[in-house]
Amino acid sequence: MKLLEKTQNLAFDPGVTPKEGGLPGLSVLKDVVSSVNLFGIIAIVGALCVSGAVWAWGNHSGSHQAEANGKKGVLICSGAALLLGGANGIVTFFSAMGTKIQ
């Protein structure tokens, strides 16, 4: 009988869903997050330029270490740009998938 009660407690639905407008300052928080995202994208553009220059310099000078670091920087910047640019879509996708869990 105790196992059945524990299972029923796990299936309890608390009824919590995201609600816009529940707390003050939501618009300010959205503006802050958007600004941080924009700042990150601008920083990635600069880092991508530097990584590309290091890659080119390493290739032309014969410095294999600099070339490898430049390639690594380009890949990291590209991945970071993908994540920052798609952050809203990624969160929306997984949030929608989470609502389907029963």
Res. 25 pLDDT band, cuts 50 70 90: confident
- Give the confidence band of 94 by pLDDT, cuts at 50, 70, 90: very high
The helix/strand/coil state of 95 is helix
Are 55 and 71 in contact, with CB atoms under 8 Å apart? yes
Task: Quote the CA–CA distance of 60 and 23 in Å, as a whole number.
Answer: 56
What is d(CA 69, CA 75) in angstroms, rounded to the nearest whole number?
A: 10
Is residue 67 helix, strand or coil?
A: helix
DSSP state of 102: -
Q: What percent of the chain has pLDDT over 90?
A: 67
Are 84 and 92 within 8 A, CB to CB? no
Average pLDDT over residues 48-65: 96
Using a pLDDT cut of 70, give the percent of the chain over it: 85
Instruction: Kindly report the average pLDDT of the chain as a whole number.
Output: 88
